[in-house]
């Protein structure tokens, strides 16, 4: 499906009729700031929309024309969310762009599949100083016809919607997100145009009470003719700036505070362990030359690594990023592989006790550990990118990891050219035994 092009009709009525006015009954509404963006959602009767099933849904985005763009997303946070962005097209209308939130913290990309069945409704456009997008994700239950089913000897070529929720359609706390940016109008009908990032305070995580979003008919709930609306005198669904008229509940601060706490804790613990402590434990074997100190330090570091993983899992649960990106999947795999290292160390120890020389297991233990440390450092860099860290922060991380790596390599080379290798509990005995034998009379 080609990117959707908005209709030529504007919000101004034709044929001498008064402009259509919004109808707010049976709509869940949310307005994060006064005189700013506002959002409304309605679910038509018999819509199967849920977390696992696509279905029909109506929603509206409205904002002053001083905003460059505003967005509405279905989900707890940007990563993995279904996002719709509205902006002016420069011809008195608006463009609606369906996008994929991806891994979050990056510009959402146009999803042409998402746009299947998406339609801009009457009432959309730029009217004075306000731009509005009334949107319908149309549901067609006979979606299987896309595969080529015939009815009455006619091939059906219909399209439906891919819109889903992050809750049931009757949830009283359905998770959504919103974002916006002020600035000059984009003035384009290109649904895939690039958009600038919103400010640090220009987004919200919130919940909608969908029990208040049940529509009685499957038709545009945002406009009615002025004659049929005069009796009820409804308010604009885009003006719900007071808490009494809004059915949305802001969860941004609590979610942001908790996720930021776990983000910092996870980053500090993991960065310290993989960049400093694990390499330091390996260096101890080359300097202090005590296998038991080496083992004790690395077991302590392993415990910290597991604690860091637990913090990361909790963070990913708060941000809906568990198993959705390379960093989380790679991180869990690396920690699991680290759990094998103590057993390789024990095997190396017992085999060295018998042979007083390194065995293949010894070399496996050494190089397996080095490979894991390298992979962990790389995954730390992926984590910094995922968290949207500053470029300077990423540079500091890379420089510190590089310095530690150089120190480790230098010590390995120096020790290799110096005294004989010390095994896990037997190296010194082997050296002394050789010295005694060479000094004994023959």
57: tokens are 């849904």
Separation CA 91–CA 361 (nearest Å): 72
pLDDT at 121: 96
Q: Quick check: 196 and 183 in contact, CB under 8 A?
A: yes
Concatenating the DSSP letter of every residue in 30-74 gives E-SSTTS-EEEEEB-TT---SSSS---EEEEEEEETTEEEEEEEE
Length of the chain: 442
pLDDT digits (tens, 9 = 90+) for 262-299: 999 999 999 999 999 999 999 888 788 788 899 999 99
**Where does the pLDDT of residue 217 fall: very low under 50, low under 70, confident under 90, or very high at 90 and above?**
very high
**What tens digit of pLDDT does each residue of 295-317 get?**
999 999 999 999 999 999 998 88
- Reported as a single tens digit per residue, the pLDDT across 122-152 is 999 999 999 999 999 987 654 443 444 343 4
Percentage of the chain modeled with pLDDT above 70? 75
For the chain, the structural domain boundaries read: 28-250, 254-439
The architecture in CATH of the region 28-250 reads Sandwich (2.60)
Least confident of 71-85, 251-265, 365-379: 251-265
- Can you read off the two tokens belonging to residue 299? 């077991």
DSSP per-residue codes, 242-293:
STTT--EEE-HHHHHHHHHHHHHHHHHHHHIIIIIIHHHHHHHHHHT--HHH
Query: Would you state the pLDDT for residue 260?
Result: 81
Distance of CA 341 to the CA centre of its chain: 31
pLDDT confidence bin for 338, thresholds 50/70/90: very high
CATH topology of domain 254-439: 1.20.120
**What is the predicted pLDDT for the residue at 422?**
47
Longest dimension (CA), the chain: 123
């Amino acid at each position: 499906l080609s990117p959707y092009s908005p209709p030529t009709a504007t919000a101004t009525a034709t044929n001498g009729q008064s402009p259509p006015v919004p109808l707010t009954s049976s709509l869940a509404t949310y307005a994060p700031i006064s005189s700013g963006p506002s959002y409304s959602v309605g679910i038509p009767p018999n819509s199967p929309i849920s977390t696992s099933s696509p279905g029909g849904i109506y929603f509206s985005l409205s904002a002053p024309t001083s905003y460059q763009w505003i967005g509405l997303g279905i989900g707890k946070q940007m990563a993995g969310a279904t996002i719709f962005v509205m902006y002016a097209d420069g011809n008195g209308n608006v463009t609606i762009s369906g996008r994929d939130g991806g891994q979050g913290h990056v510009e959402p990309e146009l999803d042409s599949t998402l746009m299947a069945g998406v339609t801009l409704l009457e009432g959309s456009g730029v009217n004075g100083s306000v731009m509005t997008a009334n949107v319908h994700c149309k549901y067609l239950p006979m979606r299987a016809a896309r595969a080529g089913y015939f009815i009455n000897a006619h091939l059906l070529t219909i399209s439906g919607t891919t819109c889903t929720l992050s809750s049931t359609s009757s949830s009283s706390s359905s998770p959504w997100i919103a974002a916006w940016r002020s600035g000059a109008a984009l003035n384009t009908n290109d649904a895939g145009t690039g958009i600038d990032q919103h400010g640090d305070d220009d987004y919200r995580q919130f919940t909608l009470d969908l029990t208040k979003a049940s529509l009685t008919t499957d038709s545009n709930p945002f406009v009615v003719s002025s004659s049929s609306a005069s009796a009820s005198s409804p308010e604009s669904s885009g003006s719900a700036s007071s808490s009494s008229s809004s059915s949305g509940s802001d969860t941004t601060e609590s979610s942001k505070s908790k996720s930021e706490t776990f983000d910092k804790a996870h980053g500090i613990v993991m960065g310290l362990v993989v960049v400093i402590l694990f390499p330091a434990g390996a260096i101890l074997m080359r300097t202090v030359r005590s296998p038991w100190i080496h083992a004790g330090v690395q077991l302590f570091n392993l415990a910290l690594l597991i604690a860091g993983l637990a913090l990361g899992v909790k963070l990913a649960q708060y941000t809906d990023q568990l198993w959705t990106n390379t960093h989380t999947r790679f991180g869990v795999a690396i920690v699991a592989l680290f759990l094998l290292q103590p057993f390789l160390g024990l095997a190396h120890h017992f085999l060295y006790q018998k042979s007083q020389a390194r065995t293949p297991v010894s070399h496996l233990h050494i190089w397996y550990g080095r490979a894991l440390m390298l992979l962990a450092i790389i995954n730390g860099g992926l984590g910094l990118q995922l968290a949207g860290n500053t470029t300077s922060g990423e540079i500091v991380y890379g420089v510190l990891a590089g310095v530690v790596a150089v120190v480790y390599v230098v010590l390995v080379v120096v020790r290799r050219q110096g005294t004989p290798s010390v095994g896990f509990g037997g190296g010194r005995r082997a050296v002394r035994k050789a010295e005694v034998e060479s000094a004994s009379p023959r």
